[in-house]
Structure formats: structure tokens, C-alpha cells
Chains A and B, each alone.
Chain A
Amino acid sequence: MGTQAKIGNRLESQNRLGKLIADHYQEAREIKESGRKPIVWTTTAAPNEILWAMDFCVLFPEAYAATCGARHAAYRHCKITEDKGYEHHLCTYCRNGLGSTLADIEGLDPFDPLPAPDLLLVANNSCSLITKWWEHLSHYWNVPLIHIDTPYIIPGVPEKDVIGHIKNQIGDLIRFLEEFTGKKFDHDRLREVVKNGSESAKGYTDMIKMNKHNPAPSTYFDLMPHNFPNLVLRYKPEVADHYRLMKQEMNERIREGIVPFENMKYRVYWDGIPYWFAMRFLSKKLQSLGICLVTSAYSQLFAFDRSDPARPLDSVAENTAYFYLNRDVRYKAEYTEQLYRDYDLEAGIFAYAMTCKPFSITMHYIADYVQKKLGVLSTIIEGDLVDDTFFDEEKTGIRLETFAEALESNKPSVGKSVF
């Protein structure tokens, strides 16, 4: 990858994404005011198609936490939980969520709060703590909580049993929701929701794969926020259009030789949940070092690529069971190795999140695995999801500079001398 002449402006798709997000939250606020639909707060990979098929307004506190982090508002919510005695090292998505809830209930001016829930749904496939977070929400809001138990997909566990177990619980969920809403569940509507989801998922994964091109038409940080539509809005047919237009835009860039920034030197993998408050710092730093983040296994968390309208209930159960974070570490390491091969990556940055142990604990293993398998350089940086008190710009900067210097000196063309 050499220096390129044409540097791309911000993707037009970013503006469309901004509107999709704003419209979603605006609609949720209107629904709350009118009371025309019940509101449910759910987790990333719960069987959410069931909720959409029942015409719930579905909101995602994890996505809200990321927004609060990116808008530098999470610290307010985190501070509220600390003032209540919750400890500093508790998951900061959780602290943000509980803090905004407490602020809302106590009239303390939370940042753009999610409209209050009528119901809570949690699946423990993304995290071992999240059920406890949702339990607290249930107590604070005084609304019912439904829990979907998702055993890990690990070697030795019959996968059919796991899927069957989840499917049984989806049946229970449907019966509960019928009682809760007084409405009969509409299987035709579910098929339509899953069909929209499968088209959205295909658009999303195709879009992510555009960065296989060398030079990449976008940095991974540019693409990453576009997980939102496939996570939150995939039940709508227009979401597939968003990804189609985005793919078109990236194709045009490839055709015209447009790259995201000057002097792109290294194609690098990113592992982990982004440090939402530090995206600008990290983007600028990485660009200054010629490091182009190309892709991440984090994208796979939002793929929901098993959606199949011919088998709606089964495919919803499979999306829940096979959620990336519900897989064992060996699977993740092999998946990551394949990403390095498919995207022609030469090194990796692993972003350890100090308060997200279930996600971060695998990083050393995966970094070590790809390093040994492929002989690539890895570095682990330290920070957090939304709490900047765990992050040190100077130390992170030094790690990234050293990483770039090592990449430069390890290039075969540099020869035997270190410099």
C-alpha cells in the first residue's frame, strides 16, 4: 500500500446513518408520549425478532451506552452509580445504564435518556454480568424481566440441545408476550421481520467485506458505527437499502482509487469494543502513524447472518445461540486468524477494556494465537468502553508509536540494520 493521491471525504452514508439513528430515538420518544406501543429494553443478541413481530418499540441500552460514551456523557451516569456506592471497576456499560436510569427516576437530568421500559428482555449470550444489570433495571423500573438462558457453544456441548433449549424459551416468551399484550402472536409477521433481517444482514456483511480491497476504501472506525441499523432496525425493509447504497459508495471509491487518508502504510486488525470516548484521538493517532484499521471480529457481533425467512423460529434461535461472544476462545482465535488471511492483515491492535472482563479475557490468547500462527505483530492497549478514567492517552500513544516503529523496522525492505 503506497501513498495515494485521492483522499476521500466523509462517507455520504454517515449522514444517512445519523438520520436513521435520530429518527429511531425520535420515534421512541413519540411512542412513549402517545403510549401507542409498549417499550421493551433488550440486549444485543436476544431473540429480538419476536419483539418486533409483536410490534414492540425495542430499545438497546448497550447501544445507548456507546452513544453516551461517544458524546462524552457517560461519565455523568457513571458518577451517579458511584455516588450510590456501585464500584468503579463495575462494567461501565452497566454503570452508564444504571446511572441514566437512576438519574431519570430521580429527576437528575440524564443525557438523552431512553424512554422508560414497560418490559425487559435479557439474554446472557453477550456477557455473564448482563443478567444482573437487567435485574437491577427491573427493580428500579418495577417492570417484568424475561431472561433467555443461552448456554455457551463450546466443544463437547451438543449444539442441537442448545438451540432446542433456546427455541423452547422463545415459545415461552411468545406465550408471555401474548398475555402481556393481549394480542395473538402473528407468525406471518415474524416471517416478514426475519426476511427484512436477512436482507439487512446480507447487506451489512457485504458492506463490511468491501474493506478486503487493498487499499481499503474506508477505515474500520468509519464502518463500525454502521452496525447500528443491523442491530436496532433490521426489521425494517429500508435498512437493506442503507447498506446497498453504502456498498455502492465504497465501490465508487475503489473504482476511483479514493482512500480514507494520506500515507496509508499498514493494514491492521482491531480487536475489542471501541473506546467510545477516544475515537477521535485514536483515529488521529492511527492516521498519523499510517495505520489503517481494516476490520475486526467485533463486526461479527452484529451480523445476525443466520436469519432465514424459510425457518423463522429456528433461525432466530440460531442467531441467539451462535452469537460470536457465546463461542469458545478457540473458535474466536481461528475466526480471527481467518480474518487476517481474508483481509490480508499484517498486524493487530487488541483493545483491552478494563471493566469488560468477559470480552477482554480472551484477548491475550487470541493475540498470542495469531502471532504464533502468522508471525504477525500484535499490541494490546488498555482503556475502557465508556469511562475515560481507565485510559491514558500518553501511554496508549507510546504503545501505538512503538507498534508502528516495529512494523516499519520489521518490513523486509529495511534489511538487517534496525534503522
Chain B
Amino acid sequence: MIVAGVDIGSQTSKAVVLKGDNIYRSALFPTGTDLYAVARKVVENAAQELGHTFDDIQRIVATGYGRVSVPFAADTMSEITCNAVGAYHFYPDARVIVDIGGQDSKAIKLNDEGKVVNFAMNDKCAAGTGRFLEVAAETLGVSVAELAALSRRSGNRIRISSTCTVFAQTEIVSLIARRTPQEDIAAGLHESIVSRVYGLVNSIGPGDTGRVVMTGGVARNDAIVSLLANAMKREITVPEDPQIVTAFGAALVARSRVGSE
């Protein structure tokens, strides 16, 4: 049985094509403006990686912001549910998932059966998301990866008071003007994101047992992961490919529904 999950995010589109229980390949492209085209392309690429074609796929489930623009998907499902299904598959002891994507962040609480029992999303602004780090990195003239490296070298983390992405830019410029070391600014920016996300995680009542899993593109940023782990006083597990967990969950949902109609 070959199925696929496609996750059309605000910045990146991801697909997982799953064969049998555990054989899978993934693909990832910037979302751009033609959602249908990118959805088709990302699924085709993942299928090819697996040595198959688009037509070999028996069922596709779409998720993410662009899920309604995927006419070839049999079903759509919210990214929170797909993320939960995906993370629980990899880590059956996962009880809290923190997902930080391009323009949103989410916290999900699972019960022992992997069902969503509580969740929260960031409000209508980019504070506490990947976009915040991108804008900050651009303002400092470094890449996001360099920003994380700078942060780790800081000896004097300063506080960025602006949680708003736009105002943070102004604050960074004024910090540069005051000759604040880049490392300290970078550390302050990471702290700012983590402070927002930590509030989000606490709002779901994360408890103090079970594995905490972090997914989404920002999970690749180890400075964020370790700061959040410190704040939560818990270890955080990052899957090998944190960006495709939601698409993987969508593929699992597709698999569970093959032949259900």
C-alpha cells in the first residue's frame, strides 16, 4: 500500500510518501504562490525518491494552511491532528509536542493513546515563530543558522522587549547603534522566542511526565531547543527530520483510511 501526506505550510511545503509500515521518502519545497503546483510537485518528488510515480499513490491526505488547494487529496485534516499522529508514531511516549513553524507555533498535549487532549496556537502575529528569527537574522545581516551560533557564544544575554516582529527590528537597529555585541543580541532574540513559546506550552497544562517532542523547522535550531528545555526543566527530543512530522502524520491518516469508503 502506498499513501501520501502533504503539508502545505505558509513558507514550506512538505510531502511524505509511505510504503507499507515504515518505508518512506519525503520532499520539501518553498510554498510560493501556486499552491496546487507545489503540492503536486512535492508529492511527485517524494514518490520518485521511493521509486514510484504519483499515480501509484492510493490515497493522499492534505494538511497545513494550503490544504484546501490540493484537489487530488482524498481528505483534509488540521495540521495539529496530523502533527500529533506523526509525533506519536515516532515516539509513543510523547505527551507534549511543541511545533514552531514559519508563521505559527503550537503546543499539543497527548494522552497515553496519542489523542489530542489540549492544544494552543500563537495569536495573530509572528512573535514566537520562525519568521521572527528570519527577520531578526536579516536585520543583523546573518543567516538563521549563524544567528543560532552567535547566540551560543553570548556571555551577556540582553533582553529584547519587543515581542512584535516589526518592532523587534527597530530595537535590533538601536542595539547595533549602541554597539551591543551581535552575540548578545542573538541570544536575546532566541530568549524572546522561547519566552513566548514557553507561555504557549504552559497554557496546555503540559504536566511533568512523558516525552516532550519538538517539531517544525525551528526545531533544527539547537539554541532554541536547549533554551526551551531549560525553561521547561525537561529534556526535549527532536526527530531526525522535524519538518516532515506533520506530513508523516497525514500519510498515516491516509493509510488508516484506505479502503474505508
Residue B34 at the chain A interface, CB threshold 8 Å: no
Please name the residue on chain A nearest to B89 by beta carbon: A418
Rounded to whole Å, the gap between the CB of B159 and the closest CB of chain A is: 22
In the assembled complex, A406 has its CB within 8 A of some CB on chain B: yes
Given the complex of chains A and B, what is the CA–CA distance between A354 and B124 in angstroms?
Answer: 10
Interface 9-residue window, one of B72-80, B149-157, B176-184, B186-194: B72-80
| Most chain A beta-carbon contacts within 10 A, residue among B88, B104, B124, B252 | B124
| B205 in contact with A368 (CB, 8 Å) | yes
Q: Is A132 an interface residue (CB 8 A)?
A: no
Indicate if A324 sits at the interface (CB-CB under 8 A). Answer: no
Q: Is B40 an interface residue (CB 8 A)?
A: no
With a CB–CB cut-off of 8 A, which chain B residues contact A409? Answer: 81, 115-116
User: B117–A406 contact, CB under 8 A?
Assistant: yes
B253 and A419: CB pair below 8 A? yes
Contact indicator A392/B124 (Cβ below 8 Å): yes
The CB with the most chain A CB atoms within 10 A, among B79, B115, B119, B252, is that of B115
Q: How far is the CA of A354 from the CA of B125 in the complex (A)?
A: 13
B113 partner residues in chain A, CB cutoff 8 A: 416, 418
A405 to B120, Cβ gap below 8 A? no
Q: Which residues of A contact B65 (CB under 8 A)?
A: 394, 398
Beta-carbon contact of B77 and A417 below 8 Å:
no
Interchain CB contact under 8 A, A402 and B123? no
Q: Which parts of A375-405 form the interface with B (CB within 8 Å)?
A: 377-380, 382, 390-392, 394-395, 398-399, 401-402, 405
Give the Cβ gap from B251 to chain A, nearest Cβ, in Å: 12
Partner of B88, one of A354, A394, A405, A418: A418
B256 touches A419 (CB 8 A): yes
Q: Within 8 Å of chain B (Cβ to Cβ): is A410?
A: yes
Is A364 in the interface zone, CB < 8 Å from B?
yes
Knowing A395-B104, A417-B256 are in contact, say whether A406-B119 is a contact too (CB < 8 A).
yes
User: Is the CB of A360 closer than 8 A to any CB of chain B?
Assistant: no
Number of interface residues of B (CB under 8 A): 27
Q: Contact check: which of B81, B88, B104, B257 meets A402 at CB < 8 Å? A: B81
A371 interfacial by beta-carbon distance below 8 Å? yes
Question: In the complex the two chains form, what is the Cα distance from A418 to B80 in whole Å?
Answer: 13
Per-residue interface assignment for chain B, residues 226 to 258, with 1 indicating a CB less than 8 Å from any chain A CB and 0 otherwise:
000000000000000000000000001100110
Smallest beta-carbon distance B40→chain A, Å:
22
Q: For the complex formed, measure the closest distance between the CB of B61 and the CB atoms of chain A, giving whole angstroms.
A: 10
Which residues 67-104 in B have Cβ within 8 Å of A in the complex?
77-81, 84-85, 88, 104
A364 CB to closest chain B CB (Å) equals: 7
Shortest beta-carbon distance from B171 to chain A in Å:
19
Assess the B115–A399 pair: CB atoms within 8 A: no
A379 x B88 contact (CB < 8 A): no
B57 within 8 A of A: no
Q: B118: which A residues are within 8 A, CB to CB?
A: 371, 377-378
Alpha-carbon distance between A120 and B33 when the two chains are bound, in angstroms: 53
A390 CA to B125 CA, complexed, in Å: 10
Contacts of A354 in B (CB 8 A): 123
List the B side residues contacting A418 at CB < 8 Å. 84-85, 88, 113-115, 256
In the assembled complex, B175 has its CB within 8 A of some CB on chain A: no
Which residue of chain A is the closest to B65 with respect to CB atoms?
A394
Contacts of A399 in B (CB 8 A): 119, 121
Closest to B203 in A: A364
Q: Decide if A410 touches B257 in the complex (CB within 8 Å).
A: no
The residues of B that contact A395 with a CB separation of less than 8 Å are 104, 121, 124
* CB-based contact A401/B78 at 8 Å: yes
Name 15 A/B residue pairs within 8 A (Cβ), A-sorted. Answer: A368-B205, A371-B118, A377-B117, A377-B118, A382-B124, A395-B104, A398-B65, A398-B79, A402-B119, A405-B81, A406-B117, A410-B116, A419-B85, A419-B252, A419-B253
Q: How far is the CB of A278 from chain B (nearest CB, A)?
A: 13
A398–B124 touching, CB < 8 Å:
no
Q: Give the one of A379, A395, A418 with max B CB within 10 A.
A: A418
Q: Mark B167-211, 1 if CB is under 8 A from A, else 0.
A: 000000000000000000000000000000000000101000000
Q: Is the CB of A406 within 8 A of B81?
A: yes
CB of A402 within 8 A of CB of B117, answer no
Q: Is the CB of B257 within 8 A of A419?
A: yes
CA distance A185 to B124 in the complex (A): 52
List A contacts of B124 (CB < 8 A).
382, 390-392, 395
Q: How far is the CA of A409 from the CA of B88 in the complex (A)?
A: 14
Q: Which residue from chain B places its CB closest to the CB of A417 in the assembled complex?
A: B256
Q: Which of B85, B119, B253 lies in contact with A379, CB distance below 8 A?
A: B119
B257 touches A398 (CB 8 A): no
Tell me the bound Cα distance from A401 to B83 in angstroms: 14
User: What separation, in Å, do the CA atoms of A382 and B123 have in the docked complex?
Assistant: 7
Beyond known contacts A399-B119, A402-B119, A419-B256: 14 more, CB 8 A cutoff: A371-B118, A390-B124, A395-B121, A398-B78, A398-B79, A398-B80, A401-B78, A402-B80, A405-B80, A405-B81, A410-B116, A417-B256, A418-B113, A418-B114
Q: Which residue of B lies closest to A415 (CB)?
A: B113
Contacts of B123 in A (CB 8 A): 354, 382
B77's nearest neighbour on chain A, judged by CB, is A405
Q: Which 3 A-B pairs have the closest CB atoms?
A: A402-B80, A402-B78, A401-B78
Q: Which residue of A lies closest to B257 (CB)?
A: A419
Chain A residues lying within 8 Å of B115, measured Cβ to Cβ, are 406, 409-410, 418
Residues of B within 8 A of A416 (CB): 113
Chain B residue contacts of A417, Cβ below 8 A? 256
CA distance A394 to B203 in the complex (A): 21
Query: Which residues of the partner chain B approach A364 to less than 8 Å between Cβ atoms?
Result: 203
In the assembled complex, the CB of B103 is this many whole angstroms from the nearest CB of chain A, namely: 10
Contacting residues, chain A, for B78 (C-beta < 8 A): 398, 401-402, 405
Mask, B40-71, CB within 8 Å of A = 1, is 00000000000000000000000001000000
> With A and B bound together, what is the CA distance between A305 and B205 in angstroms?
37
Q: Which residue of B lies closest to A414 (CB)?
A: B115
